[in-house]
Every structure is written in structure tokens, then in C-alpha cells.
Structure 1
């Protein structure tokens, strides 16, 4: 007998499909005037494999955020992010390392591709260019192109490949780890998400300096890759990119998830399943690297990271969990700390960034000389 969750999933999936069909039928003519837009998400990989992902939409560019944007400007930008008109079943050409590849968008306009880089990559480089194009599509006539002169649909992007000299990688949560979200409070999360922008969102104090120290490692000539995994929707990608840039947080791939009425989004295990899957992907394409994991106690990060430790003995160097929850939750986290300790992996429940940084320095993960900078960054962020 089907459960109520299965019933809800079936109803929601059917409603989602029906809505997409109705929207395409009603707004097809209006969408014909919207420009095509290729949204690329930073690719990542190692010298053996690179994973690329993006999306094709009919959407005008969002305005650049500022620290003077009003309530209504932020609300309009959020509406534009979520009211995206995806382009399904279109061929995307990907040019990388002198080779062309093709892939096709799915029903939500997303495309994915895994490629093998050449053997002669420059040893001291981490970021490489990649070009995306829609070969058989041209932009419609717009105010900027009233004569309807054929214009190609192209987008230049970058991919990150961990260099051979990287000593470890970092996988970090975003909500309530890097970015103050209060993810356990639905109304507060919605207010911050829908009514704020990259300038109004707050980082946890000292996080930028700590992540820069981890990327540099104990020797400042190193480059340790940092990956950000979150259950936030891909629609917020540009907001997060702007936020990281403004706060001085090192650039890295952002691994988000699709926003839709599907079983994964509706079930309580959707968050767990998505984050665990993305972490496994990062580990798989970087088989040569151990990792540091950073998260918070508000949701399921300790449970997810504990499972990662069990699945990958010897590959996790340390786990830092920011304490953002009640005492009752802390007891459950401490039990997981005991579990990871049996695998010789320290999991620390920390009150602030400096505590995590001091422990990382004691393990030789960061240069101890960066601790004063992290303390100063924490003071500046609090002010």
C-alpha cells in the first residue's frame, strides 16, 4: 500500500509537470522575446576527470546588487531568479582544452558533462577556461539588437582542477556555516533569502580569513581546493557568488540542487541525500586528496560527515562543526564525535571560527601565523 509521502510525491510531480506545460503554452509567445542565457556553474575535477554543469534559460540579466538596494529591488531580483524559463532539449557545445564536446539539456534546462583533461596540464595552475555555446540558436530581436542581427549564444566560464601539489581539499556547507541563515527557522530563512541581497547577508565572523588560510595551507605557495555544498537551489547561485566575492571568501565550485516539486525536495531525507551525493562526487574526482569537512550542528552535517568518514577510511583529516543548535542537539553531535574518533578523525563542535582555526594550526593544516589575521577578521565582521 502506498504511503502518504508517495501519494504527496505523485501529486506534486504531476502538478509540477502540468504547470510547466501550461506555462510553456500560455507564455510561449512572450518567451520568444526573451534572450537566451547560458548559466554555467564552476566546473571541478582533477587531472583525471572534470565535471561540468550549467543551465539554459530564457531570461534577462539580473541587475548588479548594491548595498543601497531597497526592499522592493531585492524582492524583484528574487522573483526573477525563481521565475526562470528553462530551455529543454537544446544541444550545448562545450569547448575545453582544444576539444569540443556536446550535451543536451534536460526538461529543466540543466546539462551535465564529464570530460578527461589532457595529460600535459600546467603544474602550477588551478583554474582553466571553458566555453559554452548554442550552435543552432540565435538571440531574438531586442532593444539592444532591434535589427535582429544574428548573434551567437555563448558564455565563457572556468573550471577548477586541483593541482598535483595540493595537500588536501576542503568541503564546506554554506547555510549557517559560512552564511548566517538560521536554517532551522523557516520564516527567518525565507526573509533572508527573498528580501536580502549579497550585501545585506552576513558571514560568520572570521570565516573569510579562515578559508583563505585553509586554501593556502601551512605553506603559502600551496593551493588547496575548496568546495561548497548546499541544499539551496541553483536559482541562488549568482547571489552566493556575489556574497563570497564581497566577503573575501576564496572562489570555489558551488554545488547546489534543483528547486522543484519532486520526491527529494519534499522528503526529510532530500537534504541528506543531496549533500552526501555531492560529497561523494567531489571525493571520486579527487582520489588523490584527503579532505577537511566543515559544517554546522543545525541540520544533518554531523550525521552526513560521520557517514563520509565510515565510507572513506583514511581520507578525512578533520571535521569542524559550528555550534548553532540547542543543548539537546549537542548531545547527539557528541555521540557522532565519539564515532568518528574511533576512525582517528577529530570532529570538533566549535563556538566560533578562531577555535576551529587554532585546532587546524595544531594539525599543520594552516600556517599558525594566520591566526592573528583570523582574529582580526572576526572582530571586523562582528563590528
Structure 2
């Protein structure tokens, strides 16, 4: 694997991952002679470009890549033109303008993540290649189906396997974060006589709402998607979107966060979150202990046959949709629609954007199922308690229970959540701060949300997870997920 590095910031971002590098081509004056020597002593085949390539000039990048592509797969640093201002070097600021040390460190961490989001390593190909349709899991009713997805250039995404190395995971992560969207693409959605043409937006996303002339049965429905324009390079580009229609037997729905709720993500520290994503995949990451059994119990309900629908609302970017679905399937968690966010520096760091996204997504679910109450599950690391409190105020009769996984031991945060629990209790709902899934299951059984014997199954599942963790080889420890 060869990397073409054009800026110092691109070099720093690459080295920060701690990957085993094979070959690097680098712009003149990006790294020092001492650094070059150190890399070569480590066995890296490093070469300096004979002349500087402007990272903001697509023609220069492509020309350089064409000269190097014969050496095998090539990844090239790509800096979008509008990212230049965000990437400005602030290291030469006057001392009087510098922030306090703690805030300065936080700013530096944010700037590094902004560079990872804004400047991407993209696999170079002599042609743009084919476009692919990636449908996301949708939801609906017997008379209306809602679906969305994205059209991307085919980057040759690889399905993760348990034996993949951290470097292979890092490569796949960069491919997904750096995937090229296809704006203005036209598609056709078809389902049992209903048909709709869709056009992707500037970021390659599409949405569709199919109004059905005849009601459909509950369960999973399949909508056919066909790419019309751009014309497929070879044959027909098609895909099938899965759409969930909850059955009449459902007594309530479940809306869950993912990061630090289903699995440990360290979402409060963005750089650590990216590092963890880079070394793990759907098979090596593990859910919190017992969470899979707890979610299966909620899905089954008190009588075991309710088929209560699950919805996952997360601030993870849509780029990680496929790995997250792979994770749910591989860990035997109930499958349901995912509502993720568009990737951007503001959306990654803005708390207000986080709240707006979650509130808007949940309101759409509430609006689709006007007669269905809900159980809400989140964590104490971000704003889930505040977001869910707001939903209780807006819909006091729609919330059966709120479970907040305690991932922040700060006494002030715990006291703040206790105050929120009092506000929620005054409206007739319950907000429960739980240490683990077994505790939550015990409470849910007492409330009649799950079967009386389900907490024992959650406890057994939790112990099984603990035994598996203890038996895991030491070499896999960095790819495993701590539980609670």
C-alpha cells in the first residue's frame, strides 16, 4: 500500500494512526531529513516527489497519481478547497492570544479531527468507476413506506472479517469516510405497483415516500431500486431496500442510541473514538455485556410474541451505516432502522446539532406511529437525558420508560441526571440511571415490559460475554470492547 502525502498535516494525521507503513511518496519540504531517515530505518520505502504538487489543484494531484499508480494500490491525500481556512496553522499566534492550556489542548484535538473529516485519503483510480446504490433500512406503515439511501462511486468496499488486521480496518475506514457521492443521480423505486423517481441531493443522498393503494402486511417489505442516471457502466445498477412495518401485536417501540449505549465508542473523546474505529470492525467490536439479550427481550415483549420495533438513532455519520448494520447482525441484536447524521465538522462538534438531529429523528418516528408508546434508551455521556426529558415534555403520554446507561462517573453529572429524573417523574414517566443491562432488565420486568424470566437470560448473556472476554487472547485485547 502506497500513500501520496502532500501536506504536513496529512503526514501528521497518517502517522497518528500508528499504522505499519509500506511506502510513502511525499511533497518536498513536508518532512525533515531526520524524519526521512527514521522512516527508512523502520523499513518504509520513502521517496520525495521531484517537484511540489499543489494539494488544492486536482489536475496536479491526478498527474502525480498517474505516474505512481503502476506501483500498486495508491492512496492520495485529498484536501477539499473549502477546507483550507479550517486547516490554517495557528501555531504562530502571539503568546498573549493563546488559550489556557486545557482549552488549547481541546482545540488542538478538535482541529485534528476536523482535518480527518475534511481532508481525506482517497484510493486513486484511472477512471471514476461505477456508481453503486446503498439503501438504508426504512420504516413505515401498512399504507406508507419511507426509505432513504445514497449513491456513491464504487470504492471497492470490503466486508469486514474477524481476522482483519488493524491496518486493514484503518484502510476500510478511510475508504468509507472518503467515499465520493454522486449528486443529481436519478433512481426509480418500485413496490407492488407503487413507483417513484428520486433524485439525489448535493451529497448523494435520496429519500422516498411510497403511498400504497392497497395496505400491505406487517413485517419486512422489500422495495426495488434502480439507478437510471448516470447510466451504469456495466449492466443494471440495482439494490433492494428493506422497510420495517411493525405488526399490530407491538405494544411499544424502542428507540436507542448506539454510541456508549449499545457499544463502547468513547464518543465524548472524538480522537479516541476514531482510533478505536480504525483498529476494530463489526466482528471484533463487542456490545456492552448483556445488552443483546436485553434488546431481544424488549423486542419480544412480555408475552414473547409482541415483535416491538427497534429504532437506532445515533450521531455516527452515514458513512458508517454498513459497518453498524454488520455489527448488529454479527452480535445478534434486533435489526431496525438506523437514523444517522451527515458527516461534517460542525455536525461532529456541535452539541446543538446533536440534539437537533436526535429530536428531529425521534419526532418523525413518533409522527409515523401516532398510537404507539415508546421506551427510550441512551447514555449519560452526551445529551441523551436532556433530549429525552424534552420529548417527555412534548409527549407526556408517549414514554413508558427511559433507561440511561451510566458511563460518566462525575458526581455533578449524576446529580444533574437525578434532577432530570425528578422532572420526568412529575409527568408520569420514569427516567432510570442504570449501571448495566441486567439492572435495566430487572426494572423493565417489574414494569411489565419484558417477560418475568428475561432478566435471568440477560444475566446469563452478560456472564457469557464476561467469560468470552476473559478467554480472549491477549493479542485481541486492543480490538475488544470494555463492558459494564
Fold similarity call, TM over 0.5? yes
2:137 to 42, 45, 48: 42
Q: Larger relative CO (CA 8 A, sep 6+): 1 or 2?
A: 1
Q: 2:419 aligns to what?
A: 335
Structure 2 counterparts to residues 132-211 of structure 1, below 5 A = 132-140=225-233, 150-211=234-295
* Counterpart-to-counterpart distance in 2, 1:200 and 1:127: 28
What are the Cα deviations for residues 92-151 of structure 1, in whole angstroms up to 9, with x where unaligned? 1111232111111000000011222344322xx3100111111244432xxxxxxxxx40
Structure 2 counterparts to residues 249-288 of structure 1, below 5 A = 249-261=333-345, 263-288=346-371
* Counterpart-to-counterpart distance in 2, 1:264 and 1:371: 37
The TM-score normalised by the length of structure 2 is: 0.69
1:126 aligns with 2:219: yes
* Counterpart-to-counterpart distance in 2, 1:38 and 1:17: 31
* Counterpart-to-counterpart distance in 1, 2:292 and 2:126: 40
CA 1:184–1:18: 2 relative to 1, 3 Å: closer
Q: 2:449 aligns to what?
A: 365
Do 2:198 and 2:208's aligned partners in 1 also have CA atoms closer than 8 Å?
yes
Gaps of 5+ in 2: 1-78, 87-117, 468-484
The TM-score normalised by the length of structure 1 is: 0.87
Q: 2:89 aligns to what?
A: none
* Counterpart-to-counterpart distance in 1, 2:81 and 2:245: 40
* Counterpart-to-counterpart distance in 2, 1:220 and 1:302: 29
Aligned length: 353
* Counterpart-to-counterpart distance in 2, 1:16 and 1:92: 31
1:298 to 363, 378, 381: 381
SS at match of 2:264: coil
Do 1:51 and 1:114's aligned partners in 2 also have CA atoms closer than 8 Å?
yes
Do 2:143 and 2:215's aligned partners in 1 also have CA atoms closer than 8 Å?
no
CA RMSD of aligned residues (A): 2.3
Point out the more displaced range, 162-171 or 265-274. Answer: 265-274
Gaps of 5+ in 1: 1-11, 141-149
Measure how far apart 1:267 and its partner are.
2.6
1:101 aligns with 2:203: no
Point out the more displaced range, 287-296 or 181-190. Answer: 181-190
Point out the more displaced range, 196-205 or 344-353. Answer: 196-205
CA 1:288–1:47: 2 relative to 1, 3 Å: farther
* Counterpart-to-counterpart distance in 2, 1:365 and 1:118: 35
User: Whose radius of gyration is greater, 1 or 2?
Assistant: 2
CA 1:310–1:14: 2 relative to 1, 3 Å: farther
SS at match of 1:85: coil
Measure how far apart 1:61 and its partner are.
3.6
Measure how far apart 1:62 and its partner are.
1.7
